[in-house]
Structure 1
Amino acid sequence: DELWKAIERVELKHSGVALDTVISESGANFSAGQRQLICLARAIVRNNKILIMDEATANVDQHTDSLIQTTIRQAFKDCTVITIAHRINTIIDCDRVLVMDHGQAVEFGPPHELLGQKDGHFAQMVEQTGPTMSSKLRKQAKDSYNQKRAVESQKSD
């Protein structure tokens, strides 16, 4: 029952995946997106408190990317999630971002605060996405930051 709930949560229930489905070496009989979703379902079943995602959505379509991001935010909201990513939209609503440059940590903090540093690495990366995307990312970061502060404020009251 727990396995089916996890499979359902990552929307693989109606994809032909069954509990007796044979998974070939390296999951070659599944798409990259399906392999990521199976790994996510496994992490849900294990009830992991720390989840490390290394370019988890780099080779998947937009729908699967969105599904993975939504599942992570819901299923692991009370966990530590370390996300290694090149796409800024993947991490824009995280609690904190560590920006690396040539193997060195150059910035660390909430995305919204990092975006306030006009000459900062993170702010410059966001600006390089173009005016439309930059505006969208800034809004996402601000909204997420404000929402988290509101929740923290309610907890302390």
Structure 2
Amino acid sequence: MSRGTISGGIVGLSVSYALSVTQTLNWLVRMSSDVETNIVAVERIKEYTEAQQEAPWEMPINQPNQNWPEEGVVEFNKYSTRYREGLDLVVRDIDCKITKGEKVGIVGRTGAGKSSLTLALFRIIESAGGSIIIDNVNISKIGLHDLRSRLTIIPQDPVLFSGTLRLNLDPFNKYEDAKVWSALELSHLKEFVSGLSNGLQFEVSEGGENLSVGQRQLVCLARALLRKTRVLILDEATAAVDMETDNLIQQTIGREVLVLDKGEIKEFDTPATLLNNKNSIFYGMAKDAGLV
């Protein structure tokens, strides 16, 4: 074989190997990507197995009586909490008492700790100091089911499930139709439901997509009114309804205002008293919103 030339057999072998290597490299890249994608599932399983578990669902030793809470007196005793170990406190040294039948609005700027107090009541986040007492029962000493089943929340984003309207209002079929209609009347939905061909058997689609956002929110309000729990939490519950309906609902809510700033209580009085004090944080917030 002369210098600078190669046989046809060597050329064919080289081309064959080159094509084979290209396919092998493609397969290697694809398999590496599949492994990287699938290993995420393993990482998540590992993370969940090492995550701190919630408190017991039920604690027979410290189970509250069937009618608890009977009055709905909520006390925060030097309560502090954080979202997880190592982070700064989001609520610190909250010390107040909400008496029987009292309606308190919690206000504050972004990051003041309003939502954190809601999470604390349901023990989504646990105490980092102090305690919350409801009708002389320390909520940290009872099971999560006993606590959460006795409180009611109307969230900002209404949650509905596919099924009948009655199922969404009374999922465990505990109440008579008359009480369901009464709750609908109080939530200003009775006329709308009466006009439906199926009434309470109206089929709600997944997520309540065949209802307007305002109607979904009112359904959540009716559900809360039907349960008649002594402790009711509203997380900007009227944000999605029209002004007229909002005014009707607000008439039964606003009595006193608790003002939070940087996780601490700064003011706690009636709206009129706070508005009369032009140096109050509440007055400043109302002024910024153009209400005064």
- Larger fraction in strand: 2
Q: Given the alignment of the two structures, is residue 109 of structure 1 paired with residue 269 of structure 2, yes or no?
A: yes
Amino acid at match of 2:200: L
Output the CA distance in 2 between the equivalents of 1:107 and 1:24.
Answer: 44
Whichever structure has more helix as a proportion of its residues is 1
| TM-score of the two chains, using structure 2 as the length reference | 0.34
From 241, 244, 247, the counterpart of 1:60: 241
Distance 1:95 1:66, change over 3 A: closer
Match of 2:179 in 1: 2
Match of 2:225 in 1: 44
Residue 105 of structure 1 and its aligned partner are, at CA, apart by 2.5
* Structure 2 residue runs without a partner (length 5+): 1-177
| Equivalent residue runs for 1:130-149 within 5 Å | 130=290, 133-134=291-292
Supply the AA of the counterpart residue of 1:45.
Answer: L
AA aligned opposite 2:188: E
- Once the two structures are superposed, the pairs formed by residues 110-129 of structure 1 within 5 Å of their partners are 110-129=270-289
Backbone CA RMSD of aligned residues: 2.1
The one-letter amino acid paired with 2:222 is A
| Pairwise CA distance, 1:54 | 0.5
Farther off after superposition, 56-65 or 15-24: 15-24
The structure showing larger relative contact order (alpha-carbon pairs under 8 Å, at least 6 residues apart) is 2
- The count of residues paired between Structure 1 and Structure 2 equals 111
What displacement does 1:122 show? 0.7
Residues 1:67 and 1:27: Cα distance change in structure 2 (over 3 Å): farther
Please give the secondary structure, in 2, of the residue aligned with 1:67. helix
Q: Deviations over 1:17-74 (max 9, x none)?
A: 521112233322211211111111112221222211111111222122123324xx1x
Matched to 1:49, the amino acid is: R
TM-score by length of 1: 0.60
